[in-house]
Structure 1
Amino acid sequence: MTSPSAKATARTSSQVRAVAHTQTLLKGKDGIGTVRRTTLPGGLRVVTETLPSVRSATFGIWSHVGSRDETPTLNGATHYLEHLLFKGTSRRSALDISAAIDAVGGEMNAFTAKEYTCYYARVLDTDLPLAIDVVCDMLTGSLILEEDVDAERGVILEEIAMTEDDPSDCVHDLFAHTMLGDTPLGRPVLGTVDTVNALTADRIRRFYKRHYDPTHLVVTAAGNIDHQKVVRQVRAAFERAGALTRADAEPRAPRDGSRAVRTAGRVELLGRKTEQAHVVLGVPGLPRTDERRWALGVLNTALGGGMSSRLFQEVREKRGLAYSVYSYTSGFADCGLFGVYAGCRPSQVHDVLKICRDELDRVAEHGLSDDEIGRAIGQLSGSTVLGLEDTGALMNRIGKSELCWGEQMSVDEMLSRISEVTPDDVRDVARRLLGQRPSLSVIGPLKDKQAGRLNDAVA
């Protein structure tokens, strides 16, 4: 005889299972490139892209949490948690987790950004069920033991030290702070020595429970896969962990907002005994949802995205003042950054900055030539396609698209948007963005007299 509680459990399970819904988001040719989404109970989404011509598959789980979701005292918690999810579950030790993927020749890793975190494993297609089981177990069953928190603290402090020993990397954190100040987006993803030392197991567990709810997660898989099999395996793993109990839960929507970046003319200098001075000169950019992002991508490519770009030609080829010089964009849900990086001898820093500033002003006032824009469109189109030639890149594309935009765009659609950019579009973006007064971040062994002149670069 079935007890009332068992009947209630069965009824709840039936109600939960009824909410699963599958959609085809992109139709591929002969099944190649087909993207499907199934929304499971609890608001968990499973998005896959099928590529039958390969023998590999990449499986990932994206969490809608990044360093911008941290309070000042929790700075570094998202990245700390990323490490801890590899330390063991009730079913597997840390060694079991790594050994399971190593035994089949796969690779497993994770990364934390300012607005999301991703855990993934790339394996042979026949080993995909193993990858799904291991990664889902990590995400749903992490123990976060106090001894593991204490042990991993040293590892993270070493990672912070490693970053600080690489000024070409560290200068970008400094630039984010210069532009965004002491805000969640302006603070480093890794946290600081002080904040990492202050984090406790209890605080990290609470952070984990709050941000790793199924409504905050997107499960992705790309390669030689079967969508429905992936859905069944993911569902079984999450149900085993008791994570799919809220039948009416809705997936979290993409972030939005309208944060303004107002940092005109700010200069931050971090003195270090380095052989080079590392500089980033930049202005506020565009949010990632801004329709002008396609024109900005073309502008960025032409200005500092390759060996034929303006900055590379002027700074390196013609004058030999730097080995590495480039421009880049960072787009967030509600704001963005555009920066120009160069690494040069400290004695040359003012010459390099003057050239970079002059080029930004020149492009803001006169725009780029049609030839430069045409070449940049071709370069951006080619790099977009070539960057999606493996299952890991495909998994990244569909996961980030679902999490950040809530929709999928085919490669052909992306190429079409790039090709539709006109010279006037690029010139308008250049005028609006590059016409702003820039801010500057510098790491290097600059003398007081040199440091005092840095304001000239942003005047």
Structure 2
Amino acid sequence: MEFQKDTLKNGVRLLTTPMPHLGSVTAMIGFGAGSRCETKDIQGIAHFTEHMIFEGTKRRPSTLAISSELDSLGAQFNAGTSQEMTVYYVKAAAKNLPQILDVLSDIVFNSKFDKDRIDMERGVILEELKMYKDEPKSWVYHLYEELLYGDHPLGRLVLGTEETLGSISKDDFFSYLDKWYRSKNITVAVAGKIEEEQALEQIRGVLGDLSAKEVGEPQVFKPAQKEPAIMLEERKTDQTHFILGTRAYHRNHPKREALGVLVTILGGGMSSRLFEQIRVQRGLGYYVDAGWDNFSDAGSVLITAGVNNQRVEEAIKVI
């Protein structure tokens, strides 16, 4: 699949992929900013910002105004925040590309961050955090990252904590946006039934006037671990969830493809070695997987499984 790369004068990077056999188009605005860009006192602000982007602008004053407009187009839309990026996207009929680009640029750069909506969404995210903590299969990932990365931002919860979420203010949001939502930290991708030059012109129309500003660098990760480490959290559950992992290549390492193949052989499907030995041959658990978590300057290979509480030691030995 061919795609075209361009860069606006203000540093915004563009990716366009014509797919003429489709009747739809997807537009995404992404920022090279996530939880690793946060200081400890505002932990969770990257994800909180993602929520607030849908809370209203001057032209579209409420969540309902935004969602109603997009729903009227039959669009699918969402957003996501990880350690190193935040993305906003809309998928709709191809003829609606100018409108969805207008909506995306409006909500991302003109959100109001009204105090009453901040307080309302604060409660929503606190409930999201409780939901995450209530799921041992999910929570064990946080314990693993905390053990692996320590007090570095990569080791902290993307969602934040009850304490930091409770103290984030309107000024904090605008300071965060001013630092990280800059033109040279933006990538726009458009794929679907598009005329490439026309799509580029439409993107320039909504983002070309952004002022060109340099963007900072997140805190570099330097591993300090010298020996094996373990973290345990006891819960009254009928199953034990655990992760075994080791440091590995970062995202752009020249051997990343080889590592991906290795991980797939180890635990990437029903014919993988781990699935065969843990589930098929021994019946130790329902799920077992291998994966590669990778960042710009760090990474790890990890094996996850959920097994019978009385057979944890056996499962670890087999792995």
TM-score range, shorter chain: over 0.9
- CA–CA distance in 2 between the matches of 1:338 and 1:152? 35
Q: Whose helix fraction is larger, Structure 1's or Structure 2's?
A: 1
Tell me by how many angstroms 1:124 deviates: 1.2
Tell me by how many angstroms 1:287 deviates: 0.5
Tell me by how many angstroms 1:192 deviates: 1.3
Identify the match of residue 137 of structure 1 among 90, 106, 120.
106
**Equivalence for 2:239:** 276
Q: Percent identity of the aligned residues? A: 36
Q: Closer, same or farther in 2 for the Cα pair 1:322/1:237, shift >3 Å?
A: same
Q: Which amino acid aligns with 1:88?
A: G
- CA–CA distance in 2 between the matches of 1:126 and 1:39? 24
User: What number of residue pairs does the alignment pair up?
Assistant: 318
Tell me by how many angstroms 1:37 deviates: 2.3
Answer yes or no: is 1:310 the counterpart of 2:273. yes
- Please report the TM-score for the alignment, with normalisation by the length of structure 1: 0.67
Tell me by how many angstroms 1:265 deviates: 1.4
**Equivalence for 2:301:** 338
RMSD between aligned residues: 1.8
Q: Secondary structure at the match of 2:261?
A: helix
Structure 1: where are the runs of 5+ without partners?
A: 1-32, 357-459
- CA–CA distance in 1 between the matches of 2:169 and 2:21? 47
User: Any conservation in 2 of the 1:133–1:234 contact (CA below 8 Å)?
Assistant: no
**Equivalence for 1:151:** 120
**Equivalence for 2:93:** 124
Q: Which amino acid aligns with 1:51?
A: M
- CA–CA distance in 1 between the matches of 2:32 and 2:91? 21
Bigger CA drift: 323-332 or 266-275?
A: 266-275
Identify the match of residue 260 of structure 1 among 205, 216, 223.
223
Q: Which amino acid aligns with 2:270?
A: M
- CA–CA distance in 1 between the matches of 2:204 and 2:302? 43
**Equivalence for 2:135:** 166
- CA–CA distance in 2 between the matches of 1:350 and 1:287? 30
**Equivalence for 2:197:** 228
**Equivalence for 2:168:** 199
User: Any conservation in 1 of the 2:18–2:191 contact (CA below 8 Å)?
Assistant: yes
Q: Closer, same or farther in 2 for the Cα pair 1:273/1:263, shift >3 Å?
A: farther
Tell me by how many angstroms 1:341 deviates: 0.5
Q: How does 1:82-101 map to 2 (within 5 A)?
A: 82-93=50-61, 94-101=63-70
Q: How does 1:292-371 map to 2 (within 5 A)?
A: 292-356=255-319
- CA–CA distance in 2 between the matches of 1:263 and 1:120? 42
Bigger CA drift: 254-263 or 51-60?
A: 254-263
**Equivalence for 2:47:** 79
Q: Secondary structure at the match of 1:136?
A: helix
- Please report the TM-score for the alignment, with normalisation by the length of structure 2: 0.95
**Equivalence for 2:22:** 54
Q: Secondary structure at the match of 2:60?
A: coil
Q: Which amino acid aligns with 1:265?
A: P
Tell me by how many angstroms 1:78 deviates: 0.2
Answer yes or no: is 1:216 the counterpart of 2:185. yes
Q: Secondary structure at the match of 1:219?
A: strand
Answer yes or no: is 1:176 the counterpart of 2:145. yes
Q: Closer, same or farther in 2 for the Cα pair 1:82/1:327, shift >3 Å?
A: same
Q: Secondary structure at the match of 1:175?
A: helix
User: Any conservation in 2 of the 1:257–1:333 contact (CA below 8 Å)?
Assistant: no
User: Any conservation in 2 of the 1:77–1:204 contact (CA below 8 Å)?
Assistant: yes
Q: Which amino acid aligns with 2:8?
A: L
